[in-house]
Amino acid sequence: MCGIVGYVGFQEALPIIISGLEKLEYRGYDSAGVAVYGNGKVSVTRAIGKLGELKKLLNERSAEAGGSLGIGHTRWATHGKPSENNAHPHTAGRVSLIHNGIVENYVELREELEKEGSQFKSETDTEIAAHLVNKYLNKGLDPFDALKAACADIRGSYAFLAIDSQNPDRILVAKNSTPIIIGIGKNEMFVASDIPAVLPYTREVVILEDGDMADVRCDGVRIENNGKPVQRKVQTITWDPITAQKGGYKHYMLKEIHEQAQAVTDTFRGRVEQEEGAISLPELAFDDKELAGIQRIVFVACGTAWHACLVAKFYIESFTQIPCEVDYASEFRYRQAVFDKNTLVIAVSQSGETADTLAAIELAGTRSPTMAVCNVLGSSIARKVGNVLFTHAGPEISVASTKAFTTQLVAVYLLAIYLAQRRGTLAPEKVGELTHSLLHLPAAIQQAVEVNSAVEKVAQRFRGAKDFLYLGRGICYPIALEGALKLKEISYVHAEGYPAGEMKHGPIALIDENMPVVVLLQRSKELFEKTISNLREVEARGGKIIAVTDFEGSKELHALTQNVIEVPFVSDFLSPLIMTIPLQLLAYHIAVFNGTDVDLPRNLAKSVTVE
Ligand code: F6R
């Protein structure tokens, strides 16, 4: 996820671009850059770090001042570490280009372009797009057609903005699976990844659709889709600036819950070979000998990431038969943990900066091969380990983790299938089945998010409860833990997660009419029936049941409680991803009813960089 802004008109472009980028910093902030046309040429300035660093640099120079055409970018790295060279805009000949998205076939395109003489200055997937557009310009194509031709070569997701130094009155735009809007002014036009960037200047907005290409000039916009001219409706935005920043949602947490279908897609995009039914993770540089030598896997993490590791254990053991353990990072280093050259130690961390996880993986690296599953390129953990599998959740602003968790689950699922493929522990048909089920996940997550108003009603019914018990079995037990953690951290209500079968060994003593029991029921016949038996024990003691299930229309369950939240079924292994969504929403709504500061809960920090 990155933020992009463009301006063409009669005003000075630079202040408008910078103010737009300030509104979009929530989309990425590891580096930023601008390209502005003025005095007969395009000047590019880029800086690593937050936008403030770029502003400082721009204050020291004046090359960009005065021009009234420009583009700007705030980056969240996906390919290539955060650095000045990898920051956007990328330039090639006449072209300056910015990008939000992922070019899946960039390796092969880069090889072809290099053979043709292009010289690359960055490690990014984006730079190939600048070279492609320049190549087509050099063949005599109009800039709009050159971008079109480039997009025909590219596979992946993108919002591209390009300017051509020989046509300094146009911004060329292309969109596929990544948001882009055009703000309509009077003799001026604004382009951005999100509405807040243009709101100070105009409330008239066109939202582009997938496949749209736009030729934006100060006095009009030409839009084509599939080579044919199309009209897109001009919408009038009535949001106030703060609501706009949160995409119209009341809190970042709710916005991020709704972003999960996209974040999950971004995480498996380019890693699933649909035709072969296989997983491709070229970023992992394990050689065959190294892989064959792995006799044990140990995951280390904290909090929500630790819950993702508990699900990972199911994936690893089921697909690869490699024994797997999960340790709290804070515990791993304060005991005589056993690990050696045949143990692969994997850190899972959204931020890549959690002090305990960093220290644990540093210690592991003294004796074992290490890797990380991480959301932040260039973070301390990502730099410390041999191999990194990045989640592509984009920045998570709410302190309570939501989309980082579901993307971690996708990443460890990909990893487990990949290891199984390389070690030959699953039949190719099984690999194909597991791989293809991923493709159904985004739609199922989207449907699960739509239970929002049903969950809100349940939350209203139970808003006054002082304690909650969360129960799950098998692969959904970690989700019970995660649901309980979400409730604790944002609503300050006590909650505990338990394996459903363990209830009778202690927690059952707590159950009475004041104790809501949130239970996860997977469709799997054996576990469903066993969990129903556990619920009868709850019912017999007057406990109130809130059930989340991917088994539609179970009479037994509906007879036990009126609080049943049904979500779609994709596969047994992907159930945890979908079951998580109603639990995130339940915690969210109870917190809102309790009037807590949902996005910034008391005593918590987004990244725990101290022990
Ligand atoms: C809970 C939450 C925390 C983090 C934990 C690890 O919502 O966000 O429990 O999961 O602090 O953080 P990372 O993943 O950044 O290492």
CB 302 within 8 A of CB 327: no
| CATH topology classification for 3-245 | Glutamine Phosphoribosylpyrophosphate, subunit 1, domain 1 (3.60.20)
Active centre residues (catalytic): 2, 606
| 225 Cβ inside 6 Å of ligand 1 | no
Does residue 351 surpass a pLDDT of 80?
Answer: yes
CB 351 within 8 A of CB 365: no
Angle between helical axes of 127-138 and 143-153 (0-180°, round to 10): 130
Q: In angstroms, what is the span from residue 604 Cα to ligand 1's centroid? A: 10
Ligand 1 site-directed mutation target among 256, 257, 350, 408, most atoms within 8 Å of CB: 350
Band (63; pLDDT cuts 50, 70, 90): low
| 305 Cβ inside 6 Å of ligand 1 | yes
Closest Cα to atom 5 of ligand 1:
303
| 489 Cβ inside 6 Å of ligand 1 | yes
Calpha distance 142→155 (Å, rounded): 22
3-state secondary structure of 8: strand
Q: Which residues pair with residue 74 across a beta bridge? A: 3, 32
Q: Which CATH superfamily is domain 256-439 in?
A: Glucose-6-phosphate isomerase like protein; domain 1 (3.40.50.10490)
Closest Cα to atom 3 of ligand 1:
303
For all residues of the chain together, what is the average pLDDT? 93
Ligand 1: nearest atom to the Cα of 608: 11
Full DSSP string of 560-581: H-S-EEE-----TTTHHHHHHH
Cis peptide bond upstream of 89, omega within 30: yes
Domain with CATH 3.40.50.10490 in the chain: 256-439, 446-594
One-letter amino acid at 8 equals V
pLDDT number for residue 387: 95
Q: In angstroms, what is the span from residue 490 Cα to ligand 1's centroid? A: 13
Band (609; pLDDT cuts 50, 70, 90): low
Phi, psi (deg, nearest 5) at residue 160: -105, 140
| 421 Cβ inside 6 Å of ligand 1 | no
pLDDT number for residue 64: 65
Q: Which residues pair with residue 325 across a beta bridge? A: 298
Ligand 1 site-directed mutation target among 304, 380, 486, most atoms within 8 Å of CB: 304
pLDDT number for residue 611: 63
Q: In angstroms, what is the span from residue 483 Cα to ligand 1's centroid? A: 14
Calpha distance 248→23 (Å, rounded): 14
Identify the DSSP state of 177.
B
Band (503; pLDDT cuts 50, 70, 90): confident
Band (243; pLDDT cuts 50, 70, 90): confident
pLDDT number for residue 325: 97
pLDDT (tens digit per residue) in 400-428: 999 999 999 999 999 999 999 999 999 99
pLDDT number for residue 114: 95
- The residue-averaged pLDDT of 269-275 equals 89
Domain with CATH 3.60.20.10 in the chain: 3-245
The contacts of residue 453 (CB under 8 Å, 6+ apart) are none
pTM of the shown model: 0.82
Q: Give, in words, the CATH class of 446-594.
A: alpha beta
pLDDT number for residue 27: 78
Q: What is the 3-state secondary structure (H, E, C) of 57-109?
A: HHHHCCCCCCCCEEEEEEECCCCCCCCCCCCCCEEECCEEEEEEEEECCHHHH
Q: In angstroms, what is the span from residue 230 Cα to ligand 1's centroid? A: 45
Does residue 274 surpass a pLDDT of 90?
Answer: no
| Alpha helices (H) along 104-162 | 106-115, 127-138, 143-153
The winner for highest mean pLDDT among 55-69, 186-200, 597-611 is 186-200
Identify the DSSP state of 425.
-
CB 449 within 8 A of CB 318: no
Neighbours of 436 (CB within 10 A): 13
**For 194, what's the count of Cα atoms within 13 Å in the CB-facing half-sphere?**
26
CB 224 within 8 A of CB 174: no
Q: In angstroms, what is the span from residue 160 Cα to ligand 1's centroid? A: 32
| 400 Cβ inside 6 Å of ligand 1 | yes
Q: In angstroms, what is the span from residue 590 Cα to ligand 1's centroid? A: 21
CB 381 within 8 A of CB 347: yes
Ligand 1: nearest atom to the Cα of 351: 15
Q: In angstroms, what is the span from residue 484 Cα to ligand 1's centroid? A: 14
pLDDT number for residue 281: 95
Does residue 379 surpass a pLDDT of 90?
Answer: no
| 359 Cβ inside 6 Å of ligand 1 | no
| 328 Cβ inside 6 Å of ligand 1 | no
Closest Cα to atom 11 of ligand 1:
303
pLDDT number for residue 367: 95
pLDDT (tens digit per residue) in 10-34: 999 999 999 999 988 877 778 999 9
Does residue 239 surpass a pLDDT of 80?
Answer: no
| 398 Cβ inside 6 Å of ligand 1 | no
Q: Provide the token pair at 462.
A: 């139970």
351's enclosing H/E stretch is none
